[in-house]
Amino acid sequence: MIGRLNHVAIAVRDIAAAAKVYRETLGAKVSAAVPQDEHGVTTVFITLPNTKIELLEPLGAASPIAKFLDRNPDGGIHHVCYEVDDIIAARDRLKAEGARVLGDGEPKTGAHGKPVLFLHPKDFLGTLIELEQA
Ligand code: CO
């Protein structure tokens, strides 16, 4: 069911410093920082030949990554994003398998303007999974 790895997301406290590490130390192609008010994060995308890295910095008091950074003060891998052809069919199949879909279970518009869902890390080996409609 899952297809390509769309991105790996890394939560960071300082997105400018993190972007510099990828741009200058690792020599990657790094986007400008984009505040995503509706998601409570600022994002930077790093384009690699086969996938992307998404840097996430908390935005606002109720950021969904604030707690993660409290537990991981140096930053760390926050989620992986897999593409699916049909996000509603994927959701229904996962629910039928007993997996927990976060929030109200309805897809939201993600950072790329496509429908996304998040799956409970306790059902997936301790890893938060984002599904994105391909
Ligand atoms: Co993501």
Residue 111's pLDDT is what? Answer: 80
- CATH assignment at residue 77: 3.10.180.10
- The count of domains in the chain is 1
Residues 6+ apart with CB under 8 A from 85: 3, 133, 134
Residue 94 DSSP SS3 = helix
For residue 25, how far is its CA from the centre of ligand 1 (angstroms)? 23
For residue 8, how far is its CA from the centre of ligand 1 (angstroms)? 7
Domain that holds residue 40: 2-133
For residue 80, how far is its CA from the centre of ligand 1 (angstroms)? 7
Per-chain residues with Cβ under 5 A from ion ligand 1:
9, 54, 81, 130
Catalytic residue among 54, 57, 83, 130: 130
Percent over 90 (pLDDT), the chain = 92
Taking the C-alpha atoms of residue 102 and residue 34, their distance in angstroms, rounded to an integer, is: 24
* pLDDT tens track, the chain, 134 positions: 999 999 999 999 999 999 999 999 999 999 999 999 988 999 999 999 999 999 999 998 889 999 999 999 999 999 999 999 999 999 999 999 999 999 999 999 988 889 999 999 999 999 999 999 99
State residue 31 phi and psi, 5-degree precision.
Answer: -80, 170
Check if 130 is active-site: yes
